[in-house]
Structure 1
């Protein structure tokens, strides 16, 4: 499934659950372009230009944060070590839990269904999302069914 960048190889099952952030990043990049490439040529007051430049700088910081710490996050299930890792490429890899501790939690705290994993002992304290939020529409149900058949079922077989 392209939305999750699923990779299964060498005893590793990895997904990127936040790839939909790329759409928001592209929209913000368009806003940054408008702030820094178009605003200098628009005949408006200096104070308004300065304010628009500040907005552009804030958008830049937010895009860098989302790109580095949200969109590129990989959840890796390693059969060799029987552990689950959270990897931010080029920055760090964190061990989350053992395969024996994994508990699948359906989180609906914001009105949308999100599949998360958590350790059995702390499943209500810290959960890690492995899916995008699914809405209660036909499209959302179709995406949920596709996620369950393409990613969730192979994942559950992989960690047994």
Structure 2
């Protein structure tokens, strides 16, 4: 979410400031800035729809995990027995938790946490995440069906 806010703010600044700088900005620079602003807007919208706005449904009765994306229908991901939790690293020094099917977890996985770094504040957030979110998920999945 912070990246979306930064991109939205920068695009508003670009689209708000460039028309007033018309007298000293060259035609090519002006439209290059408009292009950069448009790319940031599209990236922020894409990131919001497909990454931030994703929810996971753990259906205890059926023993199935679904991925729900607001503008789309729910997608069946895997059975409880197939689920494994892994640590993935998308950027150097950063780590996040993801779920995937056993034996295929590195080919297709789904992020279920924010990115954690090695700072004190991030370590505290990670510890809180593990205690309040990750452990209850594991207990829920491993418990018997109702």
TM-score by length of 1: 0.79
Q: Which runs of 5+ in 2 are unaligned?
A: none
- Tell me the C-alpha RMSD between the 2 structures: 1.6
Report the equivalent of 1:99: 80
In the alignment, which of 129, 136, 141 is matched to residue 111 of structure 2? Answer: 129
Aligned mates of 1:28, 1:107 — CA distance in 2: 25
Q: Who is 1:18 aligned against?
A: none
Q: 1:108 Cα deviation (Å)?
A: 4.3
Bigger Rg, which one: 2
Deviations 1:4-41 (A, max 9, x none): xxxxxxxxxxxxxxxxxx22111111111122121101
2:6 to 8, 15, 27: 27
Give the 3-state SS of the residue equivalent to 1:141 in structure 2: helix
Residue 100 of structure 2 is aligned to residue 118 of structure 1: yes
SS at match of 2:137: helix
Q: Does 1:142 align with 2:121?
A: no
* Cα separation, 2, equivalents of 1:113 and 1:37: 36
- How many angstroms apart in 1 are the aligned matches of 2:118 and 2:31? 43
TM-score (ref. length: structure 2): 0.86
SS at match of 1:34: helix
Q: Which residue number in structure 1 is paired with residue 60 of structure 2?
A: 79
2:20 corresponds to which of 29, 41, 45: 41
* 1:46 to partner: Cα distance: 2.2
Equivalent pairs counted in the alignment come to: 139
Q: Does residue 1:156 correspond to 2:138, yes or no?
A: yes
Question: Which stretch of structure 1 is more off in the superposition, 148-157 or 129-138?
Answer: 129-138
SS in structure 1 of the partner of residue 86 of structure 2: strand
Structure 1 residue runs without a partner (length 5+): 1-21
After TM superposition, give the deviation of residue 133 of structure 1 in Å.
2.1
SS of the counterpart of 1:123? coil
Cα deviation for residue 80 of structure 1 reads 2.2
List structure 1 runs of 4+ shifted beyond 2 angstroms: 106-113
